[in-house]
Amino acid sequence: MLQLEHDSAVPLVTQITAGFRRLIADRKLAEGMKAPSIRQFARQHQVSPSTVVEAYDRLVAEGLLVARQNSGFFVRSSVRGTKAGTPRDETLRNVRFDGRWLVKRIWEGESAGIKAGCGWLPEDWLDGEALRRNLRQIASKPSKHLASYGLPKGLEALRWSISDWLGEHEICAAPESILLTSGANHALALVARCLVRPGDIVLVDDPGYSVLSSHLRDCGARIMGVPWGPQGPDVERLEALMLTHKPRTFFTNPRLQNPTGASYSLPVAHRVLQLADRHDLIIVEDDVSSELDALQRRSLASLDQLHRVIYVGSFSKSISPALRVGFVAGDNGLMEELTAIKMTSGLSSSELTERLTLEILSEGRYRKHLKGLRERLGEALAHTCHKLAEAGLQPLLTPSAGMFVWARHPRIEDAGVLSARAAENGIMLAPGHLFTQEPGPSPWLRFNAAFCDDPRLYDFLAAA
């Protein structure tokens, strides 16, 4: 069945798993077919049973084999979630481009060869060596904390480090005013649960972060969008919404916004804070891309000093999304409420990943990594905007930093239809209606410049 090279530098377990993948992909092992027993495979290929057990366990974890008690291992009948007998192209034609699709298809990275619409950085753009090196350092140190729950507010040493970082960015927040979370998405969900009651009017960016809308709807909020332009939100429309509907909160992403790539201008930032003060509005500032900002613009929290602003940050963009470490900063009373909600929903965040984040932030090379990352993103943005224009698309603006470009084709009114066609060609786009509160189709698309270097993307867009 397989030819193993016992003298190869490639481990036998790796050879076995790779061989099974090829056999299944080539349909030489059909769906439902029984794999050789562990003892049989070990005897035929002169390997230890423990090696076969490890290889089979990996194949089960990958979803290629399924273990049946007292029967053995079988090729899974529905590999990668596609129903047996359903052609892949037919599956893609029936894609529902909604918020759930965005999470499952883009964020999990399934099926697409070109992930032009995704929301994270490529793995090789991040400092993977720093992760590996500091993981080894943590594992080598004796610690009783690696196998226990963390503190409710999160690792104190990391909260001190974040307090210092906020101070560098002109935000005064003591460690007790900071709550660590399992990423920024978790932070936004906690804040929504704390502030929003059923029936409350809540303002959000439009277009804006689609998963946030799901959190707010779960809380029973009535969501209203504030239109965005190249300088940030439309302040006249914002004021009109405040006067008419008396909202309690405004969730906004002022810097390198997802999905437009735009940022608040300083006059817009001051105007938004003035309106918030006049109308007794709480602002939740989602600033997850702050470390990608080469211009280091002022945050709302630095202008307000956490009086009306609740500040949300994350290390997913600058270190790794795998860490799932984020934080919220605000007044002490609010942090106590959020801590209680965090404990009832998940007890504590991961102290292991918090310690790893602290180790990386403490290294001198972290700032050098950020400098290189910002430069690389700047080059990718310029290239993407140029190629999109060549393909006939019009960006809202040409961002100088961050990941995202928001663009449309003047002759295409429904980017969802275009995205379905792209999916059939192995290209995953993010159509605009995923990010807006307005009903109906949208002509806009979100592009992640870090994944837009493949000429096939622009060939497709030009032909479309």
Please give the sequence-ordered ranges of beta strands (E in DSSP) within 293-342, or none if there are none: 309-314, 326-329
Residue 81 has pLDDT above 90, yes or no: no
End-to-end Cα distance, the chain: 45
Q: Assess whether pLDDT exceeds 50 at residue 93.
A: no
Confidence of residue 99 (pLDDT cuts 50, 70, 90): very low
pLDDT in tens, 9-46: 888 998 999 899 888 888 888 888 899 999 999 999 99
Answer whether residue 61 shows pLDDT above 80: no
Mean pLDDT of 265-277: 97
The pLDDT of residue 95 is above 70? no
Q: Tell me, what's the pLDDT at 128?
A: 87
Per-residue model confidence as pLDDT tens digits over 228-243? 999 999 999 999 999 9
CB 317 within 8 A of CB 448: no
Could you say which DSSP state residue 205 is in? E
Question: What predicted TM-score, i.e. pTM, was given to this entire model?
Answer: 0.77
Cα-based angle 400, 401, 407 (whole degrees, multiple of 5)? 70
Indicate the range of 56-70, 275-289, 362-376 predicted with least confidence. 56-70
Contact 65, 35 (CB under 8 A): yes
Mean pLDDT, the chain, integer: 88
* Integer CA distances (angstroms), 395 to 261, 268, 413, 416, 453, in order: 10, 21, 15, 17, 17
| Helices (H), ranges, 233-331 | 235-245, 266-278, 300-304
Q: Out of 100-114, 349-363, 390-404, which region has the weakest mean confidence (pLDDT)?
A: 100-114
pLDDT band at 352 (very low <50, low <70, confident <90, very high): confident
Q: What per-residue confidence (pLDDT) applies to 87? A: 43
Residue 80 predicted with pLDDT over 90: no
Q: CB 128: neighbour CB atoms within 10 A?
A: 12
Q: Which residue segments constitute the domains of the chain, with CATH numbers given?
A: 12-81 (1.10.10.10), 88-125+368-463 (3.90.1150.10), 129-362 (3.40.640.10)
Least confident of 77-91, 181-195, 283-297: 77-91
Q: What is the DSSP letter of 7?
A: T
Q: Which residues pair with 252 in a beta bridge?
A: 285
Q: In the prediction, which pLDDT does 161 show?
A: 95
DSSP letter at 363? S
The predicted structure's pLDDT at residue 109: 47
To the nearest 10 degrees (0 to 180), the angle between helices 365-390 and 351-362 is 90
The confidence score (pLDDT) of residue 9 equals 83
The pLDDT of residue 163 is above 50: yes
CB atoms within 10 A of CB 432: 24
Task: Tell me the HSE value of 40 on the side-chain side, using a 13 A CA sphere.
Answer: 8
**How much of the chain exceeds pLDDT 90, in percent?**
61
Q: Provide mean pLDDT across the span 246-265.
A: 97
CA distance 407 to 390: 12
pLDDT per position as a tens digit, 165-203? 999 999 999 999 999 999 999 999 999 999 999 999 999
Instruction: Please give the residue that has the higher pLDDT: either 337 or 210.
Output: 337
Give the pLDDT score at 399: 93
Predicted confidence band at 386 (pLDDT cuts at 50, 70, 90)?
very high
How confident is residue 246, by pLDDT bands cut at 50, 70 and 90? very high
pLDDT digits (tens, 9 = 90+) for 404-433: 999 999 999 999 889 888 888 889 999 999
| 375/71: higher pLDDT | 375
DSSP, collapsed to helix, strand or coil, labels residue 376 as helix
For the residues 273-287, what does the mean pLDDT come to? 97
